[in-house]
Amino acid sequence: MTPTDTFLFEAESGNKDLESVGTPAVRIDGRDKISGAAQFVDDIDFGPGLLHAAIVESPHAYARIISIDTSEAEKAEGVVRVATGTDFPYKFGMYMEDRYIFAQDYVRFVGEQVAGVVARTHREAVQAAKLIKVEYEVLTPLLDPREAVAQDADLIHPDLDDYTHVPWFFPQTNTNIAHLRKIRKGDTEKAFAEADYVLEDTYTVPRYAHCAIEPHVTVSKLDFADRLTVWTASQSPHTQRHLFAEALAPLGFTHKDVRVITPYVGGGFGGKAGVSMEILGAALATLVKGRPVKLRWTREQEFYNTYQRQGVVAELKVGVKSDGEITAVEHKLYWDAGAYVEYGANVVNAAGLSATGPYRVPNITNDSLCIYTNLPPGGPYRGFGYSEFHFGLESHMDRIAEAIGMDPVEFRRKNAIVEGDELAYGAHMNPSGMLEAIDRTAAAIDWGVEEESDNPNTVIGKGISLFWKAPAMPPNSSSASFLKFNEDGSINITVSGMELGQGYLTVMAQIAAEVLSVPVDKIRVETPDTDRNPYEWQTVASHVTWSSGLAVEKAAIEARAKIFDVIHQVYGYEDDSLYLEDEKVKCRTDPSFAKSLSDFVIDGIQTEDGTWRGGPIVASGKFMPEFTNANSDPETGQGGHPNVHYTVGATGVILEIDKETGRIWVRKAALAVDAGRAINPDLVKGQITGGLVQGLATVLYEDMRFDEGGKLLNPNFTDYKIPTAFDIPDEIIPIIVEVPQPDGPFGARGVGEHTMIGAAPVIANAVYNALGVRIKSMPITQEKVAMAIIEKSEN
């Protein structure tokens, strides 16, 4: 972004008070959602021609397919078509092409798709799928990432060297390491030798499930003109179109032949980013021309055959001086990335770049290893690697502070990264309100004031943790927008970011409303259809408020310029004397002039000779972060500028623990996040509340459990518990910090993912504060706490 683009609007408008941006505008999708009008993919009617698909899945974590017999299924009632890997010997992948649509010779996780059945009814498809006989040679699975990196481990992907991948991945030949992100900065060895105190330990984090309440669902149709239309519950319509077109190119598809339509999505959290099961539906539809095919995941499949949050074993070593200055960090992250890492490898990459946490660290050795295992594919989940490594890192910071006799808040304040500090990869930190976030969070939980429980059976603990996160995205990922006026001065905007619940559509409307002086409720922002909405990379990385927001701001500024141009042509006022207010064009040099937008934004303005000027006001805007690049030295990670900026913040809790049962109640939780500028403060608070509760669940009870054969044991809401209305803190204090992002729309940056990152370590720290026991593996369940209390009393 060039300096002239910075603060586009403010630069032009002077100090005009903002009317839409910064206000708690009512959500523009609100009526749809509370009235039952909101349509999700599964709610769309496709008529009597609709077919249904069911998928045959591997019962083994690792096996060679000997044979597949589909003959009985083909004869079954209602079956229209059966397909296997031989029908689609095509690879696909987001950052690395390591997946086949249907398994070819091998299956590499329990649940991997082996065959598909298309039938007239859902029941017939499910029944016929049971008739497909697959013979396997069962192999020994690798389920532990540290076993998978051992010298003599079997290779899960022997052809790894041949896989196509983005240039910033570094697969390690003849290993199960699909990508190794290294950071080398300064002289870590020397710094540890000279440190006054060094702490080294290992932290473990299991796998987690997104649990959007809407399961994945897709309907695909190849029409008789060879047009493939796919309706999906997705965060990534354009990326899906691109990957469908790429994977199915051997069948003759090009991008213009593929259309992806994404209505409202019932929650994503990363689980509906990229492409997972949707490619099965798209492929199957190519075999039954003219008929739409619906594939809907069951809740069980939702757990074991979409992306899962990757587990990690983190070996962390941190050195400090006696005054508390951090001098060196060595962080080795062993990621259980699963059977396919086409998306998950970038989680590993993002974590490796930022695994120092939000601290100023002169000497760094980070190794982030993306390790193939025979568990379901890992992938993006709110926090994108940061939630995982912050658990150990922020636990470690508390321990170091205690060891050197420093207050944990003071220790963090001293080392917190601030604007201009050098990052691990050599670029510099953006403006940030970290110190304000720390102070306001600490104040909200009365940090430093010891509290005693009234109940003799319980103890009170307090904790604090910091977080940071940058959007993880290719350096050229872009956003675009189209904007058009209607006769009454209302506006339709098309973008291709997704309304996942975060309030994206409303925020885009607020940005356009601000520039064009139109009320938010006169703006409709539509969900994507890749045929008519302009490009957006994906709705991930908490980047759309920033990136798509800039595209919308630019479109609005272009529309405004066109409006002023019409006025200039007809009335002669200079463009720079004109401004917009209350849906009218006004003039600084002629206060008597006021022209309503609705008078001319479609029909134009008639001149004295009876002819017309103007016409429909339409505009477009686009944004690409032209200052980033992902080219860096594979051995040191130095030289690139892979991240656009970081969003930072702090989390604090007061909790109460039953000393006998280990039960934890979160009495108060405070979370401060630096939104740069909160375009809609109520929506930022919504992210804080929702993200915090989601994060607390990962540390208090959620946990994916696998048996020794790699089969998920708890693929449902009875056995994998997510929070109910009872499982929330007694009080949540959302704190919005606003230190503007210079290149953000009105100074905004994203906050969505960040709000769950601090939850896990803050509980670990508060449990220690209450009981003096340090739990180094997630989740910190009631059982684990109770056992730790017993163990402590016995010692």
Partner 1 sequence: MDLKIKINGEDWTLDVAPADTLLDVLRERVGTKSPKIGCERGDCGSCTVLIDGRSVRSCLVLAVEADGHEITTVEGISYDGLSELQTLFLENNSFQCGFCTPGIVLSATELLEQNPNPTRHDVQEALAGNLCRCTGYEPIIDAVLAAGDGGSE
694 binds partner 1 (CB under 8 A): yes
Q: Is 606 in the site for partner 1 (CB under 8 A)?
A: no
Residue with tokens 């240039």: 167
Of the pair 593, 717, the CB lying nearest partner 1 is at 717
Residue 6 binds partner 1, judged by CB under 8 A: no
Structure tokens at 640: 């690139």
> Residue 595, Cβ neighbours under 10 Å: how many?
19
Which of 66, 476, 716, 772 binds partner 1 (CB under 8 A)? It is 716
119 binds partner 1 (CB under 8 A): no
Q: How many other CB atoms sit within 10 Å of the CB of residue 660?
A: 11
Among 298, 486, 620, 781, binds partner 1 (CB under 8 A): 298
DSSP 319-372: EE-TTS-EEEEEEEEEEEEES--TTHHHHHHHHHHHTT-SB--SEEEEEEEEEE
Examine residue 380 and tell whether it contacts partner 1 (CB under 8 A).
no
Out of 125, 578, 683, 788, name the contact with partner 1 by CB under 8 A. 683
Does the footprint of partner 1 cover residue 84 (CB under 8 A)?
no
Count of residues that interact with partner 1, criterion CB under 8 A:
57
Match 């199960």 to its residue by tokens: 176
Q: Among residues 267 and 709, whose Cβ is nearest to partner 1?
A: 267
213 binds partner 1 (CB under 8 A): yes
User: Exposed/middle/buried for 524, CB within 10 Å: 0-12, 13-18, 19+?
Assistant: middle
Rg, the chain, Cα only: 27
Cα dihedral 191, 195, 201, 206, rounded to 10, equals -60
Q: Is residue 654 within the footprint of partner 1 (CB under 8 A)? A: no
Q: How many CB atoms lie under 10 A from the CB of residue 256?
A: 11
- Contact between 724 and partner 1 per CB under 8 A: yes
What is the nearest approach in angstroms of partner 1 to the Cβ of residue 34?
A: 5
Stretch that binds partner 1, among 70-78, 336-344, 498-506, 774-782 (CB under 8 A): 498-506
To the nearest 10°, the Cα dihedral for 686, 690, 695, 699? 130
Which backbone phi and psi does 303 adopt, to 5 degrees?
A: -75, -45
Q: How long a stretch of residues is the chain?
A: 795
Could you say whether residue 722 binds partner 1 (CB under 8 A)? Answer: yes
Which of 436, 702 has the CB closer to partner 1? 702
Is residue 36 near partner 1 by the rule CB under 8 A? yes
Give yes or no for residue 40 binding partner 1 (CB under 8 A).
yes
Contact pick of 118, 219, 260, 265 for partner 1 (by CB under 8 A): 265
Question: Pick from 11, 12, 16, 26: which binds partner 1 (CB under 8 A)?
Answer: 26
Site membership for partner 1, residue 454 (CB under 8 A):
no
Selected from 169, 231, 264, 535, the binder of partner 1 by CB under 8 A is 264
Instruction: State the minimum distance, in angstroms, from the CB of residue 215 to partner 1.
Output: 7
> With CB under 8 A as the contact rule, which of the stretches 264-272, 394-402, 423-431, 572-580 interacts with partner 1?
264-272
Closest separation in Å from C-beta 700 to partner 1: 14
Residue 54 binds partner 1, judged by CB under 8 A: no
Integer angstrom CA distances of residue 334 from 150, 156, 373, 544, 694? 12, 16, 11, 30, 24
Considering only CA atoms, which of 163, 157, 263 is closest in space to residue 219? 263
In whole angstroms, what is the distance from residue 272 CA to residue 258 CA? 19
Nearer residue to partner 1 within complex by CB, 437 or 669: 669
Q: Does 35 bind partner 1 (CB under 8 A)?
A: yes
CB of 683 to partner 1, least distance (A): 7
Q: Does 215 bind partner 1 (CB under 8 A)?
A: yes
Could you say which of 34, 66, 713, 790 contacts partner 1 (CB under 8 A)?
Answer: 34
Assess 45 for contact with partner 1 (CB under 8 A): yes
Torsion angle of C-alpha atoms 654, 660, 661, 667, degrees rounded to 10: -20
Q: How far is the CB of 623 from partner 1 (least distance, A)?
A: 25
Choose which of 136, 163, 168, 269 interacts with partner 1 (CB under 8 A).
269
124 binds partner 1 (CB under 8 A): no
- Structure token digits, residue 245: 């077109």
For the chain, percent helix, then strand, then coil, each to nearest 5?
A: 30, 25, 45
The encoded tokens of residue 512 equal 């356009």
**Which stretch, 6-14, 180-188, 574-582, 678-686, contacts partner 1 (CB under 8 A)?**
678-686
* Contact yes or no for 574/608 (Cβ under 8 A): no
Residue located via tokens 């959290």: 269
Phi, psi for 31 (deg, rounded to 5): -60, -45
CB of 525 to partner 1, least distance (A): 15
Site for partner 1 in 731-760 (CB under 8 A): 732
Distance, in Å, from the CA atom of 49 to the CA atom of 292, rounded to the nearest integer, reads: 7
Q: Please tell me whether residue 640 binds partner 1 under the rule CB under 8 A.
A: no
How many angstroms separate the CA atoms of 192 and 194, rounded? 5
Q: Which of 255, 620, 717, 774 binds partner 1 (CB under 8 A)?
A: 717
Q: Does 403 bind partner 1 (CB under 8 A)?
A: no
Query: 630 with 474: CB under 8 angstroms?
Result: yes
Q: Which of 502, 459, 562 is nearest to 748 (CA)?
A: 502
Q: Is 214 in the site for partner 1 (CB under 8 A)?
A: yes
Instruction: Look at residues 793, 769, 775 and name the one whose alpha carbon lies nearest to residue 700.
Output: 775
Q: How many CB atoms lie within 10 A of CB 162?
A: 10
CA distance linking residue 759 with residue 750, whole number of Å: 18
Name the H helices within 626-680. Answer: none
Q: How far is the CB of 701 from partner 1 (least distance, A)?
A: 14
Cβ distance to partner 1 smaller for residue 34 or 150: 34
What residues make contact with partner 1 under the rule CB under 8 A? Answer: 26-27, 29-40, 42-43, 45, 210-215, 264-269, 296, 298-299, 499-503, 682-683, 685-686, 689-694, 716-718, 722-726, 728, 732
